[in-house]
Structure 1
Amino acid sequence: MSISAAQVKELRDLTGAGMMDCKAALAETNGDIEAAVDWLRKKGIAKADKKAGRTAAEGLIGVEQGLREAAVVEVNSETDFVARNAAFQEIVNNVAKVALAFGDTESVANAKYPGSDKSVTDTIKDAVGTIGENLGFRRSAKLTVPHGAVASYVHNSVADNLGKLGVLVAVETTGDAHKAGAFARQVAMHVAATNPLALNVDELDPTEIEREKAIFSDQARASGKPENIIEKMVEGRLRKFYEEVVLLKQAFVINPDVTVEQALKDAEKEIGAPAKIVAYLRYALGEGIEKDESDFAAEVAAAVKK
């Protein structure tokens, strides 16, 4: 029978399920709304989508890598408890494997989940009903080099290649790839600790530089110094700013006596050829997600009143 848009909308409003799921449910039940609601509930779809409004800011960062490529993903859950669930961890590991093949978020979301005919997005949606929390694949990215190595580091790990923070660092070189990878992993640990804003000065946001210049200029003028001195003071403070936020200019956490740039030069002796850090990625779990703040005491009091 023909299913109208009004019927689909009514079922969607009742269950919170997706449009295509509602259409399929109505088709299966010959347009009977109540039967369609039951059909969705039996499939776990209505239950899953009702949870979709809840903030999923916990979860795991996962990484997967080969020698010259690596991928990082973020899959979210509502609670840290679920992040320790073996079934959820398996999902994140498999999504990371897909990311190593497909790279960007949209491609990974639409790609087939390992061992299934369903997409990554649909597989995670199905898992909501079994795991019992809102889940979501948030993002993914991949680094590749033609020669050299891409290394990864996971901080606060709960299992191999799974944790709260993941970093990838790519080093291009025609030298020893394994030694380049060892150095890249050290840099990845450094990035995890320092969270640089850019790889080099040229990659810094120009508006951020102008903002810092304006602040430094105002601070210098407040000292009453002449303009030529103020200009030198601003230059000096900008250099200090670069040392704080630019990866190559930062003091290397493994050896704070040298910068990352100098540490790379030193590492070239072991690698056996010129080397260059060409890119890095740093994924911190839940960054940028607005978390719902709840008053636990108030929630308990409200429950008691009911």
Structure 2
Amino acid sequence: MSTISAATVKELRDKTGAGMMDCKQALTETNGDMEAAIDLLRKKGLSKAAKKSDRVAAQGLIGVVSKVKSGAVVEVNSETDFVARNADFQQLVQTIASLAPAAGGDVAKLLATAYPGGSGTVDDKVKEAIATIGENMALRRTAALSVKEGVVADYVHSKAADGLGKIGVLVALESAGDTDSLMTLGRQLAMHIAATSPQVVNVEDLSKEALDRERAIYLEQAKAEPRNAGKSDEILLKAGEGRLQKEFVSQAVLLKQVFVIDGKASVAEILKQAEKDVGAPVKVAGFVRYQLGEGIEKKEEDFAAEVAKTVGAAKAG
């Protein structure tokens, strides 16, 4: 069995809020598997659901652009936050974001896109910026949304400059209604998504694996309660279905969330109400939420090495 380091125990504690000894025990029982340890702590009722935002360890900027019926978001990473405040770096990210809708969410295609001003491709410009600014950086990811009829609205949180920040959101609304009203609604929804971080638009979009995982956790929590002693798994699963809907589905599904600006109605109800102002039915066709560095799971001190590796791979290609 591998030795569980103090740093790993601290990481689990930071993600779950559980006690140090509980974290160490969970990691020992799962042979150091972080995700399995999180699930184990939740089953024991010692942790809330881990938030992906707790894993953020990157610097740089999120760039967002909306062109009414299309929009895109990009993440460009750097080694330090100091570079994110650099005007040249900000201009670079803004320009890359403006080119991103045509790339359709394809990083390779975006890197191969001609950079304005005859400076070669986006990839060439990033490499040039590395040499000029003196710090490694990389275009990590991009996504795009478009509609035939309707709008793609955007929102940037922790704004550093126009279209730049630490959280970027796009929302695609399909509707034949008034464009200005749709855009206002879309931006409110984008602000809501920035705050609540839903996983999917509709209940039907939730994967069976995600639902089964949550059911298993609620079942283990119910078994641990003294008042449930002797009850069958079938009974406990039925009892846990209410918790599944309230604690997981209502938080993971956009349309079921309580609209943060209203604080009372669900997002689905807000959309229905908005149809009067818009003048036509409104459907959320999709959304994208990027938070700087989310999903990068590593030791913080290794981030510069990861960016250097990414840039090195791009140079080799």
Q: TM-score, structure 2 length as denominator?
A: 0.72
The answer for the alignment partner of 2:166 in structure 1 is 164
The answer for the alignment partner of 1:112 in structure 2 is 114
- CA 1:256–1:229: 2 relative to 1, 3 Å: farther
- CA 1:180–1:96: 2 relative to 1, 3 Å: same
The answer for the alignment partner of 1:70 in structure 2 is 71
Which whole-Å CA distance do the structure 2 matches of 1:232 and 1:258 have between them? Answer: 27
The answer as to 2:252 corresponding to 1:245 is yes
The answer for the alignment partner of 1:98 in structure 2 is 99
Using the TM superposition, give the Cα deviation of residue 136 of structure 1 relative to its aligned residue in structure 2, in angstroms.
0.7
Question: Per the alignment, in what secondary structure is the counterpart of residue 128 of structure 1?
Answer: helix
Of 129, 133, 142, which aligns to 2:135? 133
The answer as to 2:271 corresponding to 1:264 is yes
Counterpart amino acid of residue 97 in structure 2? A
The answer for the alignment partner of 2:15 in structure 1 is none
Q: TM-score, structure 1 length as denominator?
A: 0.74
Using the TM superposition, give the Cα deviation of residue 231 of structure 1 relative to its aligned residue in structure 2, in angstroms.
4.1
Asked if 1 retains the 8 angstrom alpha-carbon contact of 2:219 and 2:233, the reply is: no
Percent identical: 51
Question: Per the alignment, in what secondary structure is the counterpart of residue 265 of structure 2?
Answer: strand
The answer for the alignment partner of 2:239 in structure 1 is 233
Asked if 2 retains the 8 angstrom alpha-carbon contact of 1:196 and 1:245, the reply is: yes
Which whole-Å CA distance do the structure 2 matches of 1:294 and 1:226 have between them? Answer: 48
Q: Which moved more, 1:163-172 or 1:112-121?
A: 112-121
- CA 1:233–1:79: 2 relative to 1, 3 Å: same
Which whole-Å CA distance do the structure 2 matches of 1:273 and 1:267 have between them? Answer: 9
Using the TM superposition, give the Cα deviation of residue 290 of structure 1 relative to its aligned residue in structure 2, in angstroms.
4.0
Which whole-Å CA distance do the structure 1 matches of 2:103 and 2:201 have between them? Answer: 24
Matches within 5 A, 1:142-221: 142-221=144-223
Question: Per the alignment, in what secondary structure is the counterpart of residue 263 of structure 2?
Answer: strand
Which whole-Å CA distance do the structure 2 matches of 1:169 and 1:123 have between them? Answer: 29
Which whole-Å CA distance do the structure 2 matches of 1:96 and 1:144 have between them? Answer: 15
Question: Per the alignment, in what secondary structure is the counterpart of residue 71 of structure 1?
Answer: strand
The answer for the alignment partner of 2:9 in structure 1 is none
- CA 1:127–1:216: 2 relative to 1, 3 Å: same
Using the TM superposition, give the Cα deviation of residue 75 of structure 1 relative to its aligned residue in structure 2, in angstroms.
0.8
- CA 1:62–1:172: 2 relative to 1, 3 Å: same
Asked if 1 retains the 8 angstrom alpha-carbon contact of 2:71 and 2:146, the reply is: yes
Which whole-Å CA distance do the structure 2 matches of 1:238 and 1:180 have between them? Answer: 33
Number of corresponding residues: 240
Asked if 2 retains the 8 angstrom alpha-carbon contact of 1:252 and 1:263, the reply is: yes
Deviations 1:231-288 (A, max 9, x none): 4312211211211111111111011211111111111111111110010000111112
Question: Per the alignment, in what secondary structure is the counterpart of residue 255 of structure 1?
Answer: coil
Higher RCO structure (Cα 8 Å, ≥6 apart): 2
The answer for the alignment partner of 1:39 in structure 2 is none
The answer for the alignment partner of 2:284 in structure 1 is 277
Which whole-Å CA distance do the structure 2 matches of 1:269 and 1:162 have between them? Answer: 33
List runs of 5+ in structure 2 lacking aligned partners: 1-56, 303-317
Using the TM superposition, give the Cα deviation of residue 130 of structure 1 relative to its aligned residue in structure 2, in angstroms.
0.6
Question: Per the alignment, in what secondary structure is the counterpart of residue 73 of structure 1?
Answer: strand
Counterpart amino acid of residue 246 in structure 1? V
Counterpart amino acid of residue 111 in structure 1? T
Q: Which moved more, 1:63-72 or 1:109-118?
A: 109-118
Which whole-Å CA distance do the structure 1 matches of 2:220 and 2:139 have between them? Answer: 44
The answer for the alignment partner of 1:86 in structure 2 is 87
Counterpart amino acid of residue 243 in structure 2? R
Asked if 1 retains the 8 angstrom alpha-carbon contact of 2:119 and 2:125, the reply is: no
Question: Per the alignment, in what secondary structure is the counterpart of residue 174 of structure 2?
Answer: strand
Matches within 5 A, 1:34-45: none
Using the TM superposition, give the Cα deviation of residue 211 of structure 1 relative to its aligned residue in structure 2, in angstroms.
0.8
- CA 1:96–1:236: 2 relative to 1, 3 Å: same
- CA 1:278–1:119: 2 relative to 1, 3 Å: same
Which whole-Å CA distance do the structure 2 matches of 1:63 and 1:199 have between them? Answer: 20
Tell me the C-alpha RMSD between the 2 structures.
Answer: 1.8
Counterpart amino acid of residue 232 in structure 1? K
